[in-house]
Amino acid sequence: MMIEDAALRLFAEQGYEATTVEQIAAEVEISTTTFFRYFPSKADVILCHQDANMPQLRAAIIAYPPGESDLTAVEHAIKQVWVPNADPLHSQRAGQAVAASVSLRGLYNEMSRNWLEGIAAALAERRGLREPDETAIITARVALGVFNEAVRAWGSKGYKAGVGTEVDRAFARLRQLSAEWAN
């Protein structure tokens, strides 16, 4: 979409907060009214992208063989669905913008919350539950936390190489720590 491209470019050039909706609209020669018809908010230009992966992610979790642990199911789903779809350039721009803007972080975390609920629900479904129990929720929270750390680490290395490596490392570290935590 043209609006998205122009917006991301302006954000990269002059920062997210410093870019007004009016500027973005002018760049694509539309009115601000039309802008808000396509994106519910300025922040959504950056973030609405991510939600697209949720259905596949859910499906991958549900379809994962029930013999394995919940955590493994989530890890596998992320590697199968999210990792291949991750675009370094877009991730970098979005990552920078999110890091620099409070309100963007707000929306980003809002999205994470949706993921949390989606993952927890998928885990529940995988085990034949109506709604997520404590185990599902905690697993989802931990998995998401580890995943976020992997993305952060990826970013701190300049978004080079694949995210897959970072995801692998983060989950491996979690499993290693788990041995310490288990009672």
Stretch that binds a copy of itself, among 3-11, 50-58, 80-88, 101-109 (CB under 8 A): 101-109
Q: Does 127 bind a copy of itself (CB under 8 A)?
A: no
Residue 114 interacts with which of a copy of itself, DNA, none, CB < 5 to 8 Å by class = none
> Which residue's entry shows tokens 């890890």?
75
**CA 44/CA 92 separation, integer angstroms:** 16
Q: Does 48 bind a copy of itself (CB under 8 A)?
A: no
Contact at 8 Å (CB) between 53 and 85?
Answer: yes
| Burial category of 24 from C-beta neighbours within 10 Å (exposed 0-12, middle 13-18, buried 19 and up) | buried
Please provide residue 111's backbone torsions phi and psi, each rounded to the nearest 5 degrees: -65, -40
Residue ranges binding DNA (CB under 7 A)? 19-22, 29-34, 36-38, 40-43
Residues that bind a copy of itself (CB under 8 A): 69, 71, 102-103, 105-107, 109-110, 112-113, 134-135, 137-139, 141-142, 144-146, 148-149, 152-153, 169-170, 172-183
